[in-house]
A and B are shown apart, each in its own frame.
Chain A
């Protein structure tokens, strides 16, 4: 199969999948459910292939058969994960999970230092310099301290001072959440724009170039007829169910 044919089939497959998933926006249906399972299957199979091909084969299998026999221990330790499925010895999986969780938890001292020391350092802003800078620094401190005071739980917010700073803190938090709201909308819309861009600028040209092939015209005609027939069948069936449901109630 030459390059352009593979490319055409890929674009048609992608368009079919895109429309199948978007059909869920109309109504949850079998078509969407079927393609969802295909995705889980493909993603799972691909994961096994890529992990073997790019990690386990070059970094474990080849060195082991090349002479470093001790790498077999990695397989033994790795197998401990799967004791999760044995009823009697499930606890052995907790040993390897515990090792990995401990491993991650042990990094907390370095992570706290490298992440929050520079944050504390850059929070030490001198209240000096040009007027706009002073305004910015004062705004920074008011918001930082008020927002932090909102998250104190071990003493009662009795005195008016604390109660009002905590209340102001919740107000200032709204500015931060507003920024996150705007950024999230921009991100999510970009993803849909990406799909629409594919449909309009890759699939539509593909359809236009395929339209002149006679075999394409025939198959698309047949596909259209099948789709209409299935649509009518479902509408009738649903109406019959609705009528029967009305009779029962």
Chain B
């Protein structure tokens, strides 16, 4: 009995080393096996992108920085590869200052890997900030004026990838890859009023609070953190590639089991202490 109680006083730094070791194994092995099951909202996102008509563009709105790159970059990667495969034109732009540089570097790496051409297949419109609701509703009315130029200062009219986009009529779908709550603005000012499909790629922290929007159709698909990206990879034929996302999904499995064991162990120690009358704290309330 006192073993459980003694276990309670393990130094937290030992726990930190333990979690690092537990996660290092799958990361070094880098298994390429992707999960078998694909959640319906990921499949719906795939179908929306797959059915974007020819003369329309997809907006990849990114509002994340280096802080949540581990979750949001695999989503950007999977979606971009799918659109390059299907020759669907798209633009990437960032509401986050650092994100403008990061999303361009990631996109450039994928563009080179897929032998796509900047300015023809896709364009990066750089950093946007200021009153979000005004910018989103403004781009729906006059895309060329509000978005102005790409991140190198080249006017949009000179880029074949986006020169044909006048207003909301040429927008086939909007993808919101985010770590902050921007979805409400897309829903209120562009996608619900103009009936444009919206796909949500949040960090996992925000995914639990999105299911009511999937139920109401305001969101037509969702990639839930890196797990959503891994499942999307299986849909675009990368089910056997040794990607970071696949390795992360197995490391996550190990992490979750480890965390659940910690909670169980901690509670057993707590109950043992309580039964042995050693109150680690004053009487309880509530």
Direct touch of chains A and B (CB < 8 A): yes
Q: Which range contains the number of B residues in contact with the other chain? A: 35 or more
Taking a contact as CB atoms under 8 Å apart, the answer to whether A187 and B71 are in contact is: yes
Task: Tell me whether A119 and B216 are in contact in the complex, defined as CB-CB below 8 angstroms, given that A103-B134, A104-B131 are known contacts.
Answer: yes
Taking a contact as CB atoms under 8 Å apart, the answer to whether A187 and B30 are in contact is: no
Please indicate the chain B residues that have their CB under 8 angstroms from the CB of A195 in the complex: 70
Task: Tell me whether A122 and B215 are in contact in the complex, defined as CB-CB below 8 angstroms, given that A193-B251, A197-B247 are known contacts.
Answer: yes
Task: Tell me whether A54 and B70 are in contact in the complex, defined as CB-CB below 8 angstroms, given that A25-B13, A186-B256 are known contacts.
Answer: no
Interface presence of B20 (CB below 8 A): yes
Taking a contact as CB atoms under 8 Å apart, the answer to whether A55 and B259 are in contact is: no
Chain A stretch 162-193: residues in CB contact (< 8 A) with chain B:
176, 179-180, 182-193
Interface presence of B207 (CB below 8 A): yes
Interface of B is mostly: helix
Interface presence of B52 (CB below 8 A): no
Please indicate the chain A residues that have their CB under 8 angstroms from the CB of B207 in the complex: 183
| Closest chain B CB from A198 CB (angstroms) | 9
Contact flags (1/0) for B38-82 with A, using CB distance below 8 Å?
A: 000000000000000000000000000001111100000000000
Interface presence of B283 (CB below 8 A): no
Taking a contact as CB atoms under 8 Å apart, the answer to whether B188 and A190 are in contact is: no
Chain B stretch 138-185: residues in CB contact (< 8 A) with chain A:
148-149, 151, 153, 184
Taking a contact as CB atoms under 8 Å apart, the answer to whether B16 and A186 are in contact is: no
A-B contacts at CB below 8 angstroms, number: 146
Of A50, A54, A58, A189, the residue contacting B255 (CB under 8 A) is A189
Please indicate the chain B residues that have their CB under 8 angstroms from the CB of A107 in the complex: 133, 188-189
Taking a contact as CB atoms under 8 Å apart, the answer to whether A51 and B255 are in contact is: no
Whose C-beta in chain A lies nearest to the C-beta of B224? Answer: A183
A179 CA / B210 CA spacing, docked (Å): 11
Interface presence of B272 (CB below 8 A): no
Please indicate the chain A residues that have their CB under 8 angstroms from the CB of B70 in the complex: 190-191, 193-195, 197
Taking a contact as CB atoms under 8 Å apart, the answer to whether A197 and B16 are in contact is: no
Of B71, B134, B244, B259, the residue contacting A185 (CB under 8 A) is B259
Contact flags (1/0) for B242-263 with A, using CB distance below 8 Å?
A: 0010011001100110010000
Whose C-beta in chain A lies nearest to the C-beta of B125? Answer: A54
Interface presence of B28 (CB below 8 A): yes
Whose C-beta in chain B lies nearest to the C-beta of A110? Answer: B188
Contact flags (1/0) for B206-223 with A, using CB distance below 8 Å?
A: 111100110111100000
**A-B pairs, 4 with minimum CB distance:** A194-B70, A187-B204, A122-B216, A54-B126
User: Mind listing 6 A-B residue pairs with CB under 8 Å?
Assistant: A46-B101, A57-B153, A114-B192, A189-B23, A190-B204, A200-B27
- Chain A residues with CB under 8 Å of chain B are 25-26, 43, 46-47, 50-51, 54-55, 57-59, 100, 103-104, 107, 110-111, 114-115, 118-119, 121-122, 176, 179-180, 182-197, 200-201
- For the A-B complex with A186-B227, A192-B19 known, give 6 more contacts whose Cβ atoms are closer than 8 Å: A47-B97, A111-B188, A185-B256, A189-B252, A189-B255, A193-B27
